[in-house]
Amino acid sequence: MRHRHLNHQRLSLAAIDDVIRRGRWQDWVGLRHAVLEDQSVLEQVEQICRPQLADPYAQRHHFWMHYVQAHRSKP
């Protein structure tokens, strides 16, 4: 899937949010690889997901927030 805001090398907050909201499995795999390669992307994912946690229907954001928390606790 082609995502808006993905026209440069570095992932912007808008690009990450677009992948989380509209992405398919393969898009999420790409985001996961970016998170594993660069700790700052993990922080960006958290920054995007945290405001959405009050919405019980924002399940994709809840999923990614759990992912952030699980990877934060690893050494």
Can you give the residue range of the structural domain that contains 44? 13-73
Q: Rounded to 5 degrees, what are φ and ψ at 13? A: -60, -40
**Side-chain half-sphere CA neighbours of 30 within 13 A:** 17
Which has the higher per-residue pLDDT, 62 or 37? 62
Helix (H, G, I), strand (E, B) or coil at 5: coil
In angstroms, the CA 31 to CA 14 distance is 13
Q: What is the pTM of this model?
A: 0.83
Residue 35 lies in a domain: yes
Query: pLDDT digits over 28-38, tens only?
Result: 999 999 999 99
Residue 68 lies in a domain: yes
Q: Distance of alpha carbon 55 from its chain centroid, rounded?
A: 17
In angstroms, the CA 47 to CA 39 distance is 13
| Total domain count, the chain | 1
| Beta carbons within 10 angstroms of residue 60's beta carbon | 16
